Structure 1
Amino acid sequence: MNMPASSAVDGTDGIGAPATAVSIGLTETAPSFGALFPSTRYFEVDSKIAGARFGVWVTPPAQYDADQAKSYPIVYQVDGNLFFPTTAPLHQAGQSDSMSPQIPFILVSVGYSERESHAWPWLRVRDLLPPGESVPEVMLQAVELSVQAGLLPRDEGDRYIEMFANPAADKFLGFLEEELHPQLAKSFRIDADNVGLWGVSYGGLFSAYVAIRRSDLFKRIGASSPGIVGEDSRIFELYREAVASKQDYSGRQLHITLGGRELTEPGIYQWLTALGTSRLLAETSHHPLPGLEVSSEVIPLESHLSGGVPAWFSFLRACYRRG
């Protein structure tokens, strides 16, 4: 029997009597990883070089299983705890995007293990900053405020402060190049000549560091809103050294992005990211590294936080667009 339409409006059964509530039987449950990300495989990897355990999410392209003889480019994405859940669901679909089709590639998101996933905002400082890079006072204050608010135990906060004094991007790069990539190459069909890297914020600083160091592995690199703070950033010293070396950077790409509001809106990000990013772009223009292809994009309306995912797709358009 159909309920008269009036009952949906006045809460009656159609003849003036109160309608009877119907239970829909909500059952709370936790979906499996496979249900949420059916194409992704998750690994945890211990690094002797970095002295840490990392989480690694590997998502192949949609057509990976169709041709067992075909190899694919591979793109490493740092800050995997943040960006894997926001980009992986769109990864396979992006390769059939008729407006901006991508070259099929294997996506590797690198972050922190289940045991340390809660601490990824602090651990990334250790792994993504070049040796000798100074950490701005606001980062130290953030740790102290977290301790005072009861969000971090004092001993854990002290551990992070100690890490900040000794950043080790060189060791994290060693982990990627010498430990993780060789292991993945044994399990997945990888095009060894087409390996990319992308990061945002301190991940963007790390990406710029890797590009300037002229990594033998990573050839297509995206540095989004890189956390290049102050004129004494190690990035500029490394860049001057790279120019003086006269090394050939042919066959390499560096794509740099910045959120529009980071640049135009008065606030902390004008000097945390916009100033250093603008200076890096000026260096690549006035003192280009021989053969390095540099592109850039200011992403309209986006902030430092909201610009992360649009920056990822900007990188893919610049470095992995098909056709």
Structure 2
Amino acid sequence: MTGAKTLAMMATLALAMPASGREKPAALPGYTMPQTATFDMKAAHGGVYRIFLSFPKAAPPEGGYPVLYVLDGNALFASFAETRRMTEWSPGDKAIVVGVGYPTDEAYDVRRIDDFTGAPTTSGAYAKFAKSKSGGWDRFRDFLTGELRTEIGKRYKINPDRQSLFGHSLGGLFALHVLYTRPDAFHAIIAASPSIFWHEALTLKEERDFVGRLRAGSVPKASRLLVVAGDREEAILERWDAEDFVRRMAPLSAFGLRTQSEIFAGEGHMTVPVRAVPTTLRFAINWP
């Protein structure tokens, strides 16, 4: 038997052996993303959040780093962190990304329903979540704009006037709530596929109240706003509502609300936030 045939037979026999007869390979170490860190933080209201940080090597610009807060950090932080790291090779301000998530290895946690909404859902599309705890969005907003922002400011030199917020789906709904109730809390707000129809009547009332105040001149400063969605949203209302919402917001530029929008071709609900990463970073970091 030739050497080549012998080797081929040995390989065949090795593949035919049961797994229990082969030596188990050693466990490999997990991958750690460069220029990142994470810590758990207990809020004053008792909830514990997992905070993910992505930071530049470069010293902060004059006035401090811009900061982008990304909701659903367990699911979305990695995409934003690696893209942010790549942007360090380009000219322009360096920024910090703060992912806000939960102490779990799962992509999403049911607590997001409570944190991102103002009441139980009234939509049949979300009927299976009707009994989930909800209505905590003011409490979460205060944590995000108060305790967490203070903690990040202790760790890095940040620019208080260049804070931005990204939220997707229910996180996008929450981002709009922040715009309506604390219009000057962020320099920029990015709402991706916002679930406006979660509790449509409540959300539209907040919108009308905000628009009334804006037109009356009682909102001296408002975040600039970016709304994105996909043309293949599985719940088509997330596209229709985003498009209708932008049309309603566009005339308000005369009252100080700057709004941009984009519909991503070929993207569905769960791929929109990944597609939105570079667009979001540019929108959040650009100044003024």
TM tier relative to shorter chain: 0.7 to 0.9
Specify whether residues 59 and 238 from structure 1 end up closer, same or farther in structure 2 by C-alpha distance, changes over 3 A only: same
Specify whether residues 138 and 24 from structure 1 end up closer, same or farther in structure 2 by C-alpha distance, changes over 3 A only: same
- In structure 2, the partner of 1:8 is none
Report the more deviating stretch, 228-237 or 299-308. Answer: 228-237
* Aligned residue pairs, count: 274
Q: Tell me how large the CA RMSD over aligned residues is.
A: 2.9
* Residue 309 of structure 1, CA deviation: 0.9
* Residue 126 of structure 1, CA deviation: 0.6
* Alpha-carbon distance in 1 for matches of 2:55, 2:162: 15
Equivalences for 1:181-200 in 2 at 5 Å?
Answer: 181-200=149-168
Specify whether residues 298 and 119 from structure 1 end up closer, same or farther in structure 2 by C-alpha distance, changes over 3 A only: closer
* Alpha-carbon distance in 2 for matches of 1:289, 1:124: 35
Equivalences for 1:77-226 in 2 at 5 Å?
Answer: 77-97=70-90, 103-114=93-104, 117-118=105-106, 120-129=108-117, 131-132=118-119, 134-141=121-128, 161-164=131-134, 167-226=135-194
Specify whether residues 102 and 172 from structure 1 end up closer, same or farther in structure 2 by C-alpha distance, changes over 3 A only: farther
* Residue 70 of structure 1, CA deviation: 6.5
- In structure 2, the partner of 1:304 is 269
Equivalences for 1:240-251 in 2 at 5 Å?
Answer: 240-245=208-213, 246=216, 247-248=218-219, 250=221
* Partner AA of 2:173 in structure 1: L
* Residue 216 of structure 1, CA deviation: 3.7
* Residue 219 of structure 1, CA deviation: 1.6
* Alpha-carbon distance in 2 for matches of 1:274, 1:120: 22
TM-score, scaled relative to structure 2: 0.83
The answer (yes or no) to whether the contact 1:223–1:256 under 8 Å persists in 2 is yes
* Alpha-carbon distance in 2 for matches of 1:70, 1:26: 51
* Alpha-carbon distance in 1 for matches of 2:126, 2:158: 38
User: Identity across aligned pairs (percent)?
Assistant: 24
The answer (yes or no) to whether the contact 2:120–2:133 under 8 Å persists in 1 is no
- In structure 2, the partner of 1:72 is 65
Unmatched tracts of structure 1, length 5 or more: 1-11, 144-159, 263-267
State the SS of the aligned residue for 1:269.
coil
Find 1:270's aligned residue among 236, 247, 266: 236
Equivalences for 1:224-263 in 2 at 5 Å?
Answer: 224-229=192-197, 232-245=200-213, 246=216, 247-248=218-219, 250=221, 252-262=223-233
Specify whether residues 303 and 13 from structure 1 end up closer, same or farther in structure 2 by C-alpha distance, changes over 3 A only: farther
Specify whether residues 95 and 293 from structure 1 end up closer, same or farther in structure 2 by C-alpha distance, changes over 3 A only: farther
* Alpha-carbon distance in 1 for matches of 2:219, 2:254: 8
* Residue 176 of structure 1, CA deviation: 0.7
The answer (yes or no) to whether the contact 1:73–1:104 under 8 Å persists in 2 is yes
* Partner AA of 1:261 in structure 2: R
Unmatched tracts of structure 2, length 5 or more: 15-21
* Alpha-carbon distance in 2 for matches of 1:82, 1:186: 26
* Alpha-carbon distance in 1 for matches of 2:7, 2:37: 53
TM-score, scaled relative to structure 1: 0.75
Report the more deviating stretch, 120-129 or 85-94. Answer: 85-94
* Residue 140 of structure 1, CA deviation: 3.8
Q: Deviations over 1:278-320 (max 9, x none)?
A: 2211220245572111000111110001111112222223332
The answer (yes or no) to whether the contact 1:212–1:242 under 8 Å persists in 2 is yes
* Partner AA of 2:219 in structure 1: D
- In structure 2, the partner of 1:153 is none
The answer (yes or no) to whether the contact 1:75–1:197 under 8 Å persists in 2 is yes
